[in-house]
Amino acid sequence: MTTCVTARRISAITLKITRALTTGVLLFLVVLMPSTAPAQTAPRTGVYTFGGVGGVSPDDAYTFWTGTTVRAGVGVDRLLSGGFGILGEMEFLFRPGSPVGDSDPVKLISLNPVYHFGMGPFRPFVTGGVVLVGNPIRPSLGFNVGGGVNYWIQDRIAVRVEFRDHLLPIGTTLHSYGLRLGLAVGF
């Protein structure tokens, strides 16, 4: 008896793994991290830049999204009160292995609420919100969810590590997930 593993089956498994990892990371950050300290409630603005790699699910020629994705972007994170804030960012998503679009990045513009935990140099956060997929011919709205940590190496400079999953409606729900590494500057 032989088992035939199709690309759709692999994509379904990848999607389940991505959802489980996203849920696990978010639950870990929400449940196990300390609550917001009073020192963090003062308004603070940070700008950040990032780069990273990821993938897509389903990964097939039908969606024109195949293989590894490469991403880069910039954002602004504004802490409002009690750990709550808002962030906006622009991300460029490259799909070098896809049949089309290998030289044209997809623009993702996000606006999200964000919650920062704790104080001190290690500050985890969770976020999620809306994303505008910047296809100039036919723009569409999607959603994103993620979490990560800012590690403040100095009072105003942090290393930012984050996992983000963009849910993009392009006929089917496409998950564009990735690990991002960046640098943040606070003021």
Predicted confidence (pLDDT) per residue in 24-68, tens digit? 555 554 544 444 443 443 448 999 999 999 988 876 655 566 678
Q: Which residue has the higher pLDDT, 11 or 81?
A: 81
The pair of three-digit structure tokens given for residue 42, joined into one six-digit string: 């003062």
The pair of three-digit structure tokens given for residue 112, joined into one six-digit string: 């999200």
Query: pTM for the full model?
Result: 0.72
Lowest mean pLDDT: which of 25-39, 124-138, 168-182?
25-39
Whether residue 143 contacts residue 131, with contact meaning beta carbons closer than 8 Å, is answered with yes
The predicted model gives 136-150 an average pLDDT of 87
pLDDT of residue 106: 83
Question: Is the pLDDT confidence value at 173 over 50?
Answer: yes
Rounded Cα–Cα distance for residues 145 and 85 (Å): 15
Which domains are delineated in the chain?
7-186 (2.40.160.20)
The pair of three-digit structure tokens given for residue 166, joined into one six-digit string: 């963009």
Rounded Cα–Cα distance for residues 107 and 101 (Å): 12
